[in-house]
Amino acid sequence: MLTVHSHGDVSELRFSTWRSRSVGFGVSAFVVRGVLVDTGFPDCAGDLARYLRASRPAGCIVTHFHEDHAGGVGAVVRAGVPVWMDARTAQRVCAPAPVGPYRRYTWGSPGPVGAVEPFAPPPALSCIATPGHADDHHVVWDGATGTVVGGDLFIGIKVRGAHRNERPRALVRSLRQCIALAPVRLFDAHRGIVDAPIPLLVAKVEWMERTLDAIDARIKRGDDDVTIARAILGNDWVTRVFTAGDYSTESFVAAVRSEP
Ligand SMILES: [Zn+2]
């Protein structure tokens, strides 16, 4: 299911299915200056294809390779719309690695992408590398309007779960970089529009720095990941069980431990 919401100069494309809603998820893509940023997830590729037939964007930018952002790239390519992606994103989107059953349940399985025509974003939009959530993560910055299309940079202030391959320290640096742009609007893939986002971004940085300090102190003491996760981040057994441990508080601690 796709619903389109107008925020003046930016359109929000909200994607969900009964399965994604059953676990509390949906995701948004955005159109800014006639450019589609992100593509929704595989199970919504048909909805995206119908949208592209009615309203053809000049091009598409993919913020990172996760299937809820890149799952519609095949539909975009088949619609003849050129795509900008980081080289790592392109490689993972064109030859996707297998994902866990919970991700297939929530988002579906990515299909073939085909030959991607490269897109050069207009000068008014900059793609800024913001690693942390994923190493290929980018935000899209529209300096003239103070707008950042943030992919999964923000999501929320206290995000206690993570995948093992996330880089929380890099995410803090990326958040600071975003704050330095002084955005007046943030479009978040899971929160929609966030007006006056700086206090929220600062709160996230502060929470993450406190959390990283507390985790580092316990790592130094010799505690294991489960003990640290329970003490500092709490017990998220529902998510842990649903994702078979892939996305969890322990993985957050493991990510901190493995990041220099
Ligand atoms: Zn993501």
* pLDDT tens figures, 21-45: 998 899 999 999 999 999 999 999 9
Closest CA to 191 of 80, 30, 61: 30
Ligand 1 centre from 124 Cα, in Å? 25
* pLDDT tens figures, 43-81: 999 999 999 999 999 999 999 999 999 999 999 999 999
Ligand 1 centre from 69 Cα, in Å? 7
Ligand 1 centre from 155 Cα, in Å? 9
Q: Which CATH fold would you assign to the domain 124-260?
A: Metallo-beta-lactamase; Chain A (3.60.15)
Residue 209 has pLDDT above 80, yes or no: yes
For residues 236-242, average pLDDT: 75
The predicted model scores a pTM of 0.95
- Split at pLDDT 50, 70, 90, the class of 243 is confident
CB crowding 226-243: b at 16 or more within 10 Å, else e: eebbeebbeebeebbebb
Record the tokens describing residue 237, joined without a space.
């057994």
Task: Give the Å distances, CA to CA, from 206 to 4, 17, 176, 256.
Answer: 34, 34, 10, 16
Ligand 1 centre from 190 Cα, in Å? 10
Ligand 1 centre from 90 Cα, in Å? 15
pLDDT at 111: 86
Q: Among 95-109, 118-132, 196-210, 240-254, which stretch is predicted with the lowest mean pLDDT?
A: 240-254
Residue 53 phi/psi, 5-degree rounding, is -70, -35
Ligand 1 centre from 152 Cα, in Å? 5
Ligand 1 centre from 63 Cα, in Å? 9
Number of H helices, E strands in the chain: 11, 13
In angstroms, the CA 19 to CA 234 distance is 27
* pLDDT tens figures, 90-146: 999 999 888 888 889 999 998 889 999 999 999 999 999 999 999 999 999 999 999
In angstroms, the CA 85 to CA 121 distance is 10
Ligand 1 centre from 68 Cα, in Å? 7
Question: In this structure, which amino acid lies at residue 59?
Answer: G
In angstroms, the CA 57 to CA 236 distance is 40
Element (H, E) at 174: helix 168-180
User: Coil, strand or helix: which one is 187?
Assistant: strand
* pLDDT tens figures, 146-171: 999 999 999 999 998 888 899 999 99
Q: Which residues surround ligand 1, an ion (CB under 5 A)?
A: 66, 152
Task: Give the Å distances, CA to CA, from 41 to 23, 65, 155.
Answer: 15, 11, 17
Question: In this structure, which amino acid lies at residue 146?
Answer: G
Ligand 1 centre from 133 Cα, in Å? 6
Ligand 1 centre from 147 Cα, in Å? 20
Q: Which CATH fold would you assign to the domain 1-122?
A: Metallo-beta-lactamase; Chain A (3.60.15)
Residue 240 has pLDDT above 80, yes or no: no
Ligand 1 centre from 163 Cα, in Å? 10
Residue 241 has pLDDT above 80, yes or no: no
Mean pLDDT of the chain: 95
Ligand 1 centre from 66 Cα, in Å? 5
Residue span(s) of the chain under CATH 3.60.15.10 come to 1-122, 124-260
Residue 181 phi/psi, 5-degree rounding, is -75, -15
Ligand 1 centre from 72 Cα, in Å? 14
- What is the sign of the dihedral through the CA atoms of 202, 204, 207 and 209? negative
Q: What is the DSSP pairing of strand 185-188 with strand 192-195?
A: antiparallel
